[in-house]
Amino acid sequence: MRSARMALGLCPQVLCSLGGWLSLYISFCRLNKHRSYEWNCRLVTFTHGVLSIGLSAYIGFVDGPWPFTHPGSPNTPLQVHVLCLTLGYFIFDLGWCVYFQSEGALMLAHHTLSILGIIMALVLGESGTEVNAVLFGSEITNPLLQMRWFLRETGHYHSFTGDVVDFLFVALFTGVRIGVGARLLFCEMVSPKPKGFVKVGGVAMYAVSWCFMFSIWRFAWRKSIKKYHAWRSRRREERQLKRNGHLKTR
């Protein structure tokens, strides 16, 4: 009961966060009237991604406690503030996605699980440590994902910059969300402190990450094959040029 009352006391903070993200979105829409609604929403998403990465990294690496050794620990004041800030964002973004019907079931499931996980940590007054770690792992690839979309919209995706962004996105997703995420989930499961339903939520979030991973690997494979064939084609043309002194005409 005490934890529930404390969670209810955080409602104004969450509402302020929701209002802040909504106000930022409206501001972007007014500043970028020539851009689409999705462009401005992705600017908000990019802003949240950068902010949440910095805050969650500070909590995990500096303020503590360390999520791999202290899962299920009582929430710290800073963790609560960051979770409230992020909860307001996810409510905003989920509402935007549902209203504009811009995302599929997997992304909606990810947002829903994120909202439920944050609410659960706030109501329980514990497990903010590992939820914050999941936030860091989930958001670390978000700015790259938004950069990829912006590059595509502005016609600069098929470039060296686009290739670098794609490589970093795939590498970080595989290494952090799948690799480090597996270690965090193991520590969560073997620890006696976290509640059983908290562990179930961790398994669900990790399963969603794997669903994303399969799609990302398919994309990476198709792009790699396309790049390879383009390289082979250029090599054939170069050999033809060296042999005949001019490019082969068709």
Could you give the CA distance from residue 75 to residue 125 in angstroms, rounded to a whole number? 6
For tokens 């504009």, the residue is: 100
For tokens 């250029």, the residue is: 234
Could you give the CA distance from residue 46 to residue 102 in angstroms, rounded to a whole number? 17
Task: Say if CB 53 and CB 120 are below 8 A apart.
Answer: no
92-122 pLDDT, tens digit per residue, is 999 999 999 988 888 999 999 999 999 999 9
Task: Say if CB 120 and CB 5 are below 8 A apart.
Answer: no
Residue-level pLDDT at 222: 84
Going from N- to C-terminal start, the domains of the chain cover 1-246
Which of 108, 123, 138, 106 minimizes the C-alpha distance to 202? 138
Residue-level pLDDT at 184: 93
162-176 pLDDT, tens digit per residue, is 999 999 999 999 999
* pLDDT above 70: residue 5: no
The chain-wide mean pLDDT, for the chain, equals: 89
19-72 pLDDT, tens digit per residue, is 999 999 999 999 999 999 999 999 999 999 999 999 999 999 998 899 999 999
Residue-level pLDDT at 9: 76
Residue-level pLDDT at 245: 59
* pLDDT above 80: residue 248: no
* pLDDT above 80: residue 246: no
Report helix, strand or coil for 119: helix
Whether pTM exceeds 0.95: no
Could you give the CA distance from residue 76 to residue 211 in angstroms, rounded to a whole number? 32
Residue 151: exposure state from Cβ atoms within 10 A (0-12, 13-18, ≥19)? middle
Rounded average pLDDT over 233-246: 69
Q: Which residue has the higher pLDDT, 234 or 11?
A: 11
Could you give the CA distance from residue 89 to residue 22 in angstroms, rounded to a whole number? 8
178-208 pLDDT, tens digit per residue, is 999 999 999 999 998 988 888 999 999 999 9
Residue-level pLDDT at 250: 46
Report helix, strand or coil for 74: strand
Judged by average pLDDT, the poorest of 17-21, 140-144, 226-230 is 226-230
* Run of H or E including 228: helix 196-244
For tokens 């979309």, the residue is: 149
